[in-house]
Structure 1
Amino acid sequence: MRLEAITWERLGDLLAERLLDLTPADGSPWPRVAVDGAPAARPGDLAALVAEALRPRGRSALVVGTQGFLRPASLRLEHGHQDVEAYYDGWFDTGALWREVFGPLEPGGDGRVLPDLRDPATDRATRSPYVQLPPKGVLLLHGPLLLHHWFPFDLTVHVRLSPAALRRRTPESEQWTLPAYERYEDETAPADSADVLVRADDPRHPAWNG
């Protein structure tokens, strides 16, 4: 696969332009976009850039991070603080994401999305108000391991780090999560399955194939 060097700002602009012409296949008036990547790849930064690039183009966007939809600590840490299986399949409240984020954006939905559910630091409900996303407004959901949950995305972007870069840029306290990303590569192959691939081994000089 041939990748082209690009700046982050230019990448945000190109993705925003692509989204202007994106029509969901299921008839929903709200395009739903995944910005997938390990925390060390900083997918949330790219999601924010795309949202910023959409504004002057007259398109609303809502950035939602899966970190705001963690399951309660009593559930996700039931088997310990460093259980790889739980991290891979049980840390994020996919039911709440379906109910509060994707459900309102289905055809016939009301467009009222809950931007977060639980504060990851306090493990308490955030009680954030719902956000009304207007028709043609774009959902930008960012977080790790997104592409193996069968969410109804209309465009998927994978921000990839090589195994060496992922290990280098992951804090020591989170190194235990690395086997989950190895499994993700083996089972989901996100670099191959995503619509857009971004290589971010050098955070100053990304490359992409879109």
Structure 2
Amino acid sequence: MRDELLSAIAGEILTRSARRVAIDGVDGAGKTRFADELAGALTDRGAPVVRASVDGFHRPRSDRHRRGRTSPEGFFRDSFDYPRLVELLIEPLGPGGSGRFVRAVHDVRAESPLELAQESAEPGAILVLDGIFTHRPELARFWDYSVWLEVPFAVSIPRVAARDYADPDPLAESNRRYVEGQRLYLAECDPRSRATVVVDNADLARPVIVT
């Protein structure tokens, strides 16, 4: 069922001649896996793909935590360098773009800047970008096609915990920055209504299109 859904979305992207595709959802929604598999489905249909993540455009820790290490508002407003993401990756891969792009500028795990060489996309390449907050006003206008992965915090936070050895309780104080930051995003940006398609991804084996 998962393969069929991904194939259907890939077909719609190609039918629409979409060049820039975003996969959005809360932390633990399954964005990376979904984007990887969607990129594979597009490649299987003969489409060139540039696969990237918003995570490659984190701001330095000093910027991310300037409102405080546990601030939900800081998580929502200060995590990413959107001007550089647009300038170096999104605009070059859009209509009239140069096709020359930079995939990432910061390694958030190492907390160090990256100096990656500029790459050249194949003609007609489709950008498949995953990441939180990708339906913010700074980014939403660029997407030719976008997916919102609908997953409740009761499911998403335990997924994150299993991956990062963190607390699986969505109400835990250690999760407040992330859960409440996501709630700010949901309230201010309503990504569900902005996405081209909404997919219930609570059951990874059986995702379902709900709009």
- Which residue of the partner structure matches residue 149 of structure 2? 159
Aligned-residue offset at 1:127: 2.0
Query: Does 2:59 correspond to 1:99?
Result: no
Distance in 1, Cα, partners of 2:122 & 2:16? 15
Return closer, same or farther for 1:23/1:46 CA change in 2, 3 Å cut-off. Answer: same
Query: Does 2:112 correspond to 1:112?
Result: no
Distance in 2, Cα, partners of 1:174 & 1:120? 18
- Which residue of the partner structure matches residue 184 of structure 2? 183
Aligned-residue offset at 1:119: 0.5
Which range moved further: 109-118 or 187-196? 187-196
The correspondence of residues 17-166 of structure 1 with structure 2, limited to 5 A, is 17-23=11-17, 31-151=19-139, 152-166=142-156
Which range moved further: 171-180 or 133-142? 171-180
Kept in 1: contact 2:137–2:189 (CA 8 A): no
> What is the identity, as a one-letter code, of the residue corresponding to 1:200?
N
Aligned-residue offset at 1:191: 2.1
- Which residue of the partner structure matches residue 197 of structure 2? 196
Distance in 2, Cα, partners of 1:209 & 1:54? 22
SS in structure 1 opposite 2:209? strand
TM-score, normalisation: structure 2: 0.86
Kept in 2: contact 1:148–1:188 (CA 8 A): yes
SS in structure 1 opposite 2:41? helix
Distance in 2, Cα, partners of 1:144 & 1:186? 14
Return closer, same or farther for 1:163/1:123 CA change in 2, 3 Å cut-off. Answer: closer
Aligned-residue offset at 1:167: 4.0
TM-score, normalisation: structure 1: 0.86
Query: Does 2:7 correspond to 1:10?
Result: no
SS in structure 2 opposite 1:68? helix
Gaps of 5+ in 1: 1-5, 25-30
Kept in 2: contact 1:167–1:175 (CA 8 A): no
Distance in 1, Cα, partners of 2:119 & 2:176? 35
Return closer, same or farther for 1:175/1:10 CA change in 2, 3 Å cut-off. Answer: farther
Aligned-residue offset at 1:92: 0.5
Aligned-residue offset at 1:205: 2.3
> What is the identity, as a one-letter code, of the residue corresponding to 2:177?
W
SS in structure 2 opposite 1:185? helix
Distance in 2, Cα, partners of 1:56 & 1:165? 31
Kept in 2: contact 1:69–1:92 (CA 8 A): yes
159, 167, 180: which is aligned to 1:169? 159
- Which residue of the partner structure matches residue 27 of structure 1? none
Distance in 1, Cα, partners of 2:192 & 2:76? 18
Return closer, same or farther for 1:61/1:150 CA change in 2, 3 Å cut-off. Answer: same
SS in structure 2 opposite 1:182? helix
Distance in 2, Cα, partners of 1:65 & 1:200? 19
